[in-house]
Amino acid sequence: MYDYLIVGAGLFGSIFAYEAKQRGKKCLVIDKRNHIGGNVYTKEVEGIQVHEYGAHIFHTNNKRIWDYVNQFAEFNRYTNSPIANYKGEIYNLPFNMNTFHKLWGVTSPEEAKRKIEEQRKTANISQPSNLEEQAISLVGTDIYQKLIKGYTEKQWGRPANELPAFIIKRLPVRFTYDNNYFNDRFQGIPVGGYTQIFEKLLDGIDVKLKTDFFKEREELETLANKIVFTGMIDQFYDYQFGVLNYRSLKFETNVLDDTDNFQGNAVVNYTDSETTYTRIIEHKHFEFGKQEKTVITKEYPMEWEQGLEPYYPINDDENNTVYKKYKDLADQEAKVIFGGRLANYKYYDMHQVIGEALVTVEKEFGK
């Protein structure tokens, strides 16, 4: 008999399993996929670590979480500085003095602020009623038209003036020449990829891959005293209050034999509306790779339907109300612990999942 059956070998499940083992508990970890690591999984192709489920850059402000992951891998000094390609024009992201110089030729923060203010005033939007108005009221028309509109419309599959304003609460604008996307103190990519972290976390723990909890639920539930569930919460309760909605993604990965450097940067966003993908990832640049070939992935946003990978929860009022009903049921469970992005119906960055897993571990086992 196991102490815990852990459904999902992603970050939440693997950290819980590791910490439980440290405390003498016996765990069985299952995952329906054929690999560990969940969406953080990386796979070696042509000597390059490929981020199979989209670019994963580790960043955190929390020293404890940074020290925690550094136990399992050495992190490099990678700094996320994405590039925007708008119909062949190249801009730095996030919006900063380099972006403003390229857009308007301005050289001082004062001039850049004046330009944005001018455009906001001309637009004269006091009560934004949709995403388009919200964005223009925050950063003016030029940035909106070239760097936000097309990308956002592809991301959500709808025109920006039909999207709710609340999606964009604020848009970070920086009046320094700083292309570092994140404001966090710590940032990097594990040298040799993320999968090694999961191999270490799950070392000595029973793991069964290609095992879907819902296909063998009755039998699996008899194997352990408690369940840690990191799958979709609505599925756990047989969709009794309805299906929670997501946006999905399709990844198209290619090895390029005839070039060792396709785009000169790990992440390039395509911000026009005509290009059907939102970004191209060139994986070798995450680790400053010098391999002879290169591997790129185009990322296409898609409508989600059951059977597709659920990537981004759509946390509008309707879905949040349905989630709340499932959450109320979950709160009453004595023998099931829910954790991670799918069980909480929430977009989490990696450091947030680690934080959540460590808090759950403390609740379960004490400090």
Per CB under 6 A, does 10 bind ligand FDA?
A: yes
Cis omega before residue 94 (within 30°)? yes
Regarding 40 and contact with ligand FDA (CB under 6 A), the answer is: yes
Question: Out of 2, 4, 12, 270, which residue is the one contacting ligand FDA (CB under 6 A)?
Answer: 12
Using the rule CB under 6 A, which residue among 94, 234, 341, 360 binds ligand FDA? Answer: 341
By CB under 6 A, the residues from 227 to 246 that bind ligand FDA are: 230-231
Q: Which of 44, 64, 252, 347 is catalytic?
A: 347
Minimum distance from CB of 13 to ligand FDA (Å)? 6
How, if at all, do strands 336-338 and 224-229 pair? parallel
**With contacts defined by CB under 6 A, how many residues of the chain interact with ligand FDA?**
34
Q: Where are the beta strands (DSSP E) in 284-330?
A: 294-303, 312-313
The residue from 100, 181, 213, 345 that contacts ligand FDA (CB under 6 A) is: 213
> Has 217 been annotated as catalytic?
no
Class of residue 131 by CB neighbours under 10 A (exposed 0-12, middle 13-18, buried 19+):
buried
Our CB check for ligand FDA shows the closer of 149 and 351 to be 351
The verdict on whether 64 is a catalytic residue reads no
Q: At closest approach, how far in Å is the CB of 132 from ligand FDA?
A: 24
30 three-class SS: strand
> At a CB cut-off of 8 Å and minimum separation 6, what does 114 contact?
none
197 binds ligand FDA (CB under 6 A): no
List the structure tokens of 352: 């947030």
Active site residue 174: yes
Q: What 3-state DSSP class applies to 16?
A: helix
Scanning 162-170, 210-218, 220-228, 259-267 for contacts with ligand FDA by CB under 6 A, the matching segment is 210-218
DSSP state of 308: B
| Residue 233 · residue 336 · CB < 8 Å | no
Phi and psi at 58, nearest 5°, equal: -80, 130
Residue spans of beta strands (DSSP E) within the chain = 2-7, 27-30, 42-45, 48-51, 58-60, 83-86, 89-92, 186-188, 206-208, 224-229, 246-256, 267-270, 279-282, 294-303, 312-313, 336-338
Q: Note whether 212 binds ligand FDA by CB under 6 A.
A: yes
Distance CA 121, CA 140 (A): 8
Considering the rule CB under 6 A, would residue 187 count as an interface residue with ligand FDA? no
Active site residue 23: no
Quick one: which segment of 48-56, 120-128, 133-141, 318-326 binds ligand FDA (CB under 6 A)? 48-56
Candidates 46, 178, 309, 349; catalytic one: 349
- Find the part of the chain contacting ligand FDA (CB under 6 A) among 170-178, 202-210, 327-335, 348-356: 348-356
The question of whether 347 is a catalytic residue gets the answer: yes
Cβ distance to ligand FDA smaller for residue 149 or 341: 341
Q: Which is nearer to ligand FDA, 115 or 284 (CB)?
A: 284
Return d(Cα 364, Cα 353) in angstroms, integer. Answer: 16
Applying CB under 6 A, among 150, 188, 313, 340 the residue interacting with ligand FDA is 340
Residue 17 lies near ligand FDA (rule: CB under 6 A): no
Residue 247 is a catalytic residue: yes
Q: Are 248 and 310 in contact (CB under 8 A)?
A: yes
Q: Which one from 174, 181, 326, 345 is the annotated catalytic residue?
A: 174
Q: Which of 257, 258, 236, 263 is nearest to 325 (CA)?
A: 236
Q: Does 94 bind ligand FDA (CB under 6 A)?
A: no
Scanning residues 244 to 303, which ones bind ligand FDA (CB under 6 A)?
Answer: 249
3-state secondary structure of 100: helix
Tell me the catalytic residues.
170, 174, 247, 279, 299, 347, 349
Residues engaged in binding ligand FDA (CB under 6 A): 7-13, 30-33, 38-40, 54-58, 212-214, 230-231, 249, 311, 340-342, 348-351, 353
